[in-house]
């Protein structure tokens, strides 16, 4: 009996040590208040996105829940308003799997909201399917949609500066690669529909997030907009809803013991969005609320620039609504077919200052 007790005590001690040293995340220590500020959080009807939006609302921010499902987002907005006591929490429809929807969201936001101080690119999926434009769902939602959204809102962010763009990536970016010929053909970054292939596609999209943030920081040097990317921790959220049932059941016991809850998973996002004094570290990567060095692929400036320039070719820029392009310089903002400002591939961000 005594041997059994010793074994149980040892197992419990081991669990406590591992949990607190490896799995339990740090806490955002910022006490910044956000009255008069506006934040957008994508994918904020559940998981760490909802937890992030709740914290921002408690600080007094006007929070836009940018989500695909109206029913789920409005329910989340109701919960957040009730718990925070902040009535300035609203839903705006955004489907990141449709570039048309992204443009429509940006157009509506820019017409109805005078400020944007914090943009949090949080939404993410791991699963099959294709976007409206034919790209794999992981690449389209996790990266392509956020790339366009950020570019469409950059001028408003600059006008309201100092402001921040925070993109949630993950440690799995280390397993990612970018195959430009495959991207150009709108094929998956990896072929096949097995769980392993979905996992690989997710990793590739997260590497794109890291590189995007790095190049965005380079392009915004000297402006009042800073950007950060982060690993939120090991979290079991609705991100895994597209995994097979047997895999979800297999993960559940381990998740209950070791994974962070959504509130814990939101802490590094909040740190990047709110912590004072990190402005000189724009473009960098955080984990557990501290600065981390990214792997070699994640700090490849040439690859980051190539990816950005490739993504620019995806979008068909058109003339301003007036149809008069004669007085539009090559390095200025053009307009897309929805009447929304778009960032031209040759943009020089000096004009944003």
Q: Are strands 341-342 and 334-335 parallel, antiparallel or unpaired?
A: antiparallel
State the Cα–Cα distance between residues 149 and 40, nearest whole angstrom.
11
Place of tokens 């949090």: 120
Task: List the structure tokens of 8.
Answer: 């149980």
Place of tokens 């789920």: 72
202 counts as catalytic:
yes
Per-residue CA distances from 334 to 249, 317, 321, 325, 340 (Å): 49, 7, 10, 9, 8
Give the active site residue among 173, 202, 228, 285: 202
Enumerate the H helices of 90-172 as residue ranges: 99-112, 137-139, 145-159
Give the contacts of 17 (CB within 8 A, at least 6 positions apart): none
CB 27 within 8 A of CB 72: no
Give the side-chain half-sphere CA count within 13 A for 227: 30
DSSP string of 189-226, one letter each residue:
SS---SHHHHHHHHHHHHHHHHHHHHHHHHHTTTSSEE
Burial class (CB in 10 A: 0-12, 13-18, 19+), 30: middle
Residues with a known catalytic role:
202
């Amino acid at each position: 009996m005594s041997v059994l007790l010793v074994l149980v005590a040892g197992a419990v001690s081991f669990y406590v040590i591992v949990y607190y040293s490896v799995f339990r995340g740090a806490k955002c220590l910022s006490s910044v208040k956000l009255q008069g500020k506006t934040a957008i959080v994508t994918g904020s009807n559940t998981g760490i996105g909802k937890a992030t939006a709740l914290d921002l609302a408690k600080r007094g921010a006007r929070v836009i829940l940018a989500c695909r499902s109206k029913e789920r987002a409005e329910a989340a907005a109701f919960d957040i308003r009730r718990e925070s006591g902040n009535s300035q929490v609203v839903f705006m429809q955004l489907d990141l799997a449709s570039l048309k929807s992204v443009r429509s969201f940006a157009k509506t936001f820019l017409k109805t909201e005078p400020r944007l101080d914090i943009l949090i690119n949080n939404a993410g999926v791991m699963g099959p399917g294709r976007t409206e434009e034919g790209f794999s769902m992981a690449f389209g939602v996790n990266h392509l949609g956020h790339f366009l959204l950020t570019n469409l809102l950059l001028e408003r962010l600059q006008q309201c500066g100092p402001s921040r763009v925070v993109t949630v990536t993950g440690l799995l970016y280390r397993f990612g690669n970018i195959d430009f010929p495959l991207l150009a053909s709108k094929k998956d970054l990896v072929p096949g529909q097995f769980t392993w292939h979905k996992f690989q596609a997710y990793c590739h999209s997260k590497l794109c997030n890291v590189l995007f943030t790095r190049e965005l920081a380079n392009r915004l040097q000297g402006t009042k907009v800073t950007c950060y990317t982060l690993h939120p921790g090991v979290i079991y959220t609705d991100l895994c809803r597209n995994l097979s049932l047997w895999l979800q059941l297999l993960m559940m016991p381990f998740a209950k013991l070791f994974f962070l809850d959504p509130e814990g998973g939101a802490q590094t996002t909040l740190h990047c969005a709110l912590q004072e004094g990190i402005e000189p570290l724009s473009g960098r990567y955080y984990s557990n609320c501290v600065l981390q060095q990214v792997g070699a692929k994640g700090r490849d400036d040439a690859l980051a620039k190539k990816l950005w320039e490739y993504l620019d070719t995806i979008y068909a820029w058109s003339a301003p609504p007036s149809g008069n392009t004669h007085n539009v310089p090559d390095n200025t903002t053009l307009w897309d077919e929805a009447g929304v400002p778009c960032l031209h591939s040759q943009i020089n961000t000096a004009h944003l200052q």
